[in-house]
Amino acid sequence: MPRQLQIALLLILLVQAMGTLGYMVLEDMSFTDAMFQTIMILTTVGLGEVNPFSTAGKWLSIGLMSFGVGLVLYSLTQVVEVLITNAISDQGKLKKERKHMQKLQDHIVVCGYGRVGEQVSRELHAAKQPFLILDHRPERAQAARNAGFLVLEGDANQDEVLLQAGIDRARTLVAVLGEDAMNLYVVLSARELSPGLHIVARSSEDTASKKLMRAGANEVINLHRLSGVSVARGLLKSSMVSVLEDITFGAQGFQMEGVQVASQSALIGKHPREVQLMCGITFIALKRASGEVYRYETDLLLMAGDTLLVIGNPEEVKKLELLSIRSV
């Protein structure tokens, strides 16, 4: 609340208290009658006097009419000013957000800001990746704004909303809505609007995972299965899981990443060991676009569409990412 409005409201309460006390002392009114008389004067209701005033009571009434009524009117103008200012400010923020959205290129669209979407957004923000959150629930959209994220409030199942999110310019779409059916609709719409888009979707059932893949998702993550596997591994190989979690979440200053080789990348035709020397990263595995996975010892040369699984510090990983998209 603005300071001017706080002061005005405090003065109104002070005048109300002084008027009530004054009538109780000067006119021997009860607390209720004194407060009622004071409020009538301050609000200019004009219902008359509770009791006939003495000379002192009249002077008190004159003071309340001269100072109190003006104070009330001033406070009302302050309230109106605050409301108008906030409305203009909100409109300005929305316009600024829309302009920012229109400038986004090669970004990530996160559909759904629930528990999973929130964590995805935090990780993307920490990695300094350009992204946009899409959610139709006002309270979740506001929560994302409060966290400092760029938000478009709308239904991800609507084509026009996806286009507003820049789906045709985006690099990746992440569908992490609460229901498999909703994610399926999003995947279908996104694939139709942007055939080359990389789509990652969450699912809760194996049957839904298959349908999401058929609908056009490039990757489907079954959260229940993933959680179950993590718990089982934690029970059987707790020390190994701890190490992997530290690497995955960057707790020890380095991270595990999958970096895809672009069609005109300078990495095409090079051996993974050359890339390791160039960037300082540790190469783990190579995945072809067709799905085959090869270990570090492979003699295969890199091709467009390959994904390199590596471990390195943020600077080393960033250098590899730049090389993966930079043309020769």
- Residue 72's pLDDT band (cuts 50, 70, 90): confident
**What architecture (CATH level 2) is domain 3-98?**
Orthogonal Bundle (1.10)
Select from 68, 70, 92, 79 the least CA-distant residue to 2: 79
Contacts with 200 (C-beta within 8 Å, 6 or more apart), sequence order: 172, 173, 174, 175, 217, 218, 219, 220, 221
CATH architecture for segment(s) 104-227: 3-Layer(aba) Sandwich (3.40)
- The reported pLDDT for the residue numbered 328 is 44
Concatenated DSSP letters for 176-230?
--SSHHHHHHHHHHHHHH-TT-EEEEEESSHHHHHHHHHHT-SEEEEHHHHHHHH
CATH 3.30.70.1450 residue window(s) in the chain? 253-325
Residue ranges, comma separated, of all CATH 1.10.287.70 domains in the chain are 3-98
Q: What is the pLDDT of residues 192-217, one digit of tens each?
A: 999 989 999 998 887 888 899 999 99
What is the reported pLDDT for 200? 92
Give the right CATH number for 253-325 from 3.10.129.10, 3.30.70.1450, 1.10.579.10, 3.90.1300.10: 3.30.70.1450
Give the pTM. 0.54
pLDDT of residue 249 exceeding 70, the answer is no
pLDDT interval class at 240 (50, 70, 90): low
